[in-house]
């Protein structure tokens, strides 16, 4: 999912992100505001993952969302 689409659809995706990564708070999701790098950083920080794992997880979830929402 490209960055512009993520920002544009963030309000819809936000609810899914809350389910995917339940440790992220509403405030954190608001701060992310559809920016992939911020999302990756928060997932990495809260789950203690290396950056590559967080990026792969975020990309996998967003790709799945994009395929099923179309």
Q: What is the 3-state secondary structure (H, E, C) of 35-47?
A: CHHHHHHHHHHHH
Mean pLDDT confidence for 4-27: 94
Q: Which of 65, 11, 61 is nearest to 40 (CA)?
A: 61
Q: Are 10 and 33 in contact (CB under 8 A)?
A: yes
Could you give the CA distance from residue 64 to residue 70 in angstroms, rounded to a whole number? 10
Listed by start position, the domains of the chain span 3-69
Tokens of 23: 């440790």
| Whether the predicted pLDDT of 35 surpasses 70 | yes
* pLDDT tier at 31, thresholds 50, 70, 90: very high
What pTM does this model have? Answer: 0.92
Architecture in CATH of 3-69: Orthogonal Bundle (1.10)
């Amino acid at each position: 999912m490209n960055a512009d689409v993520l920002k544009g659809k963030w309000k819809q995706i936000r609810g899914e992100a809350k389910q995917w990564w339940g440790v992220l708070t509403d405030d954190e999701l608001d701060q992310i505001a559809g920016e992939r790098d911020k999302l990756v950083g928060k997932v990495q920080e809260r789950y203690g993952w290396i950056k590559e794992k967080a990026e792969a997880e975020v990309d996998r979830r967003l790709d799945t969302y994009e395929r099923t929402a179309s």
